Amino acid sequence: MYRYLTFLAVVVVAVIGFFGVQGKQSKDTPVYVFDDMDYQPKYKPQGENKFFADGRDARPAVAGTVARGSGLEPLQVFSADYRRAESLNPSFATGKDAQGNFLADFPTKSLTFLASGELAPFTVDAKTLALGQAKYQIYCAVCHGSAADGNGIMKVRSSIEGDVAIVTIANLQLPLFRAYPQGQVFDVIANGKNTMLGYGDKLTPEERWAVVAYLRALQLSQSCPPNLVPAALKATVK
């Protein structure tokens, strides 16, 4: 009897393994032994949920929350110097000028004090772009894609599962988003838009501006106006 049950168990496992393996390519409907592992009841980023007034699946943190392990450094953002810098240069932290309009260009001053007591300049250089690339790949590429064309893994999954995210993920290469003032891009990163939640609790103002700079570089990489191409590079193109 024991041998029979052992043999039967081996046969069952072999059959399930042969017909239920999802690693092989097939147009046939796969056999799901535990379908709840593939189709889990859960809320997803960029998903729609009519239960909440804002229509979003993802829920923002309670006002005033500073999450552990977030991109913000409490000792920095709550320091007296940081708060004084924000008061001296509020546009850097909001993306808006004194009249409440989005900044057309990048701010010229940062939130870091020099030894002289003045605010250090903010420059878009290789270091800024490297920081922006790192943060973009962590927080943005999953939805907007590595080229900012809206073809991140979330869109791929959404197209398979029929989720609403496939129509709400923005293609940031479109003229609409290219025309956004720098401050408006900063504001969307910080506060979110439509089904996208803001990342103001995860990215410092410096990091948000770095992401804006990197996004602009991605947009130029896909469609650069001829007048911005260096003459030396133009000479190499035939």
In this structure, the answer to whether residues 110 and 167 fall within a common structural domain is: yes
Residues 31 and 138 in one domain: no
For residues 10 and 86, membership in a common domain is answered with no
Answer yes or no: is 190 within a domain: yes
Identify the pLDDT of residue 161: 63
Residue 136 pLDDT class (50, 70, 90 cuts): very high
Domain count, the chain: 2
Distance CA 137, CA 131 (A): 10
User: Is 231 among the domain residues?
Assistant: no
Question: Do 114 and 218 lie in a common domain?
Answer: yes
Range of the domain at 169: 50-224
CATH of the domain at 204: 1.10.760.10
pTM of this structure: 0.69
Whether 103 is in a domain gets the answer yes
- In the chain, DSSP assigns E strands to 109-113, 119-121, 192-193, 196-197
Distance CA(13)–CA(204), nearest Å, equals 52
* Assigned domain for 198 exists: yes
Q: Which among 215, 214, 190, 186 is positioned nearest to 203, based on CA atoms?
A: 190
Q: What is the pLDDT of residues 183-207, one digit of tens each?
A: 999 999 999 988 788 898 889 899 9
- State whether 7 and 108 are in the same domain: no
| Integer Cα distance of 176 and 184 in angstroms | 12
Q: Are residues 24 and 120 in the same domain?
A: no
The verdict on residue 236 lying in a domain is no
Residue 74 and residue 7 share a domain: no
Mean pLDDT of 158-182: 80
Q: Is residue 80, in this structure, part of any structural domain at all?
A: yes
Euclidean distance between CA atoms 210 and 130, whole angstroms: 8
**Residue 53 scores a pLDDT above 90:** no
Residues 140 and 197 in one domain: yes
Are residues 116 and 71 part of one domain?
yes
Residue 78 included in any domain: yes
CA 7 to chain centre: 51
Residue 45 domain flag: no
Could you tell me if 69 and 124 lie in one domain? Answer: yes
* Same domain, yes or no: 173 and 147: yes
Q: What confidence tier does 232 reach under pLDDT thresholds 50, 70, 90?
A: confident
Residue 100 and residue 163 share a domain: yes
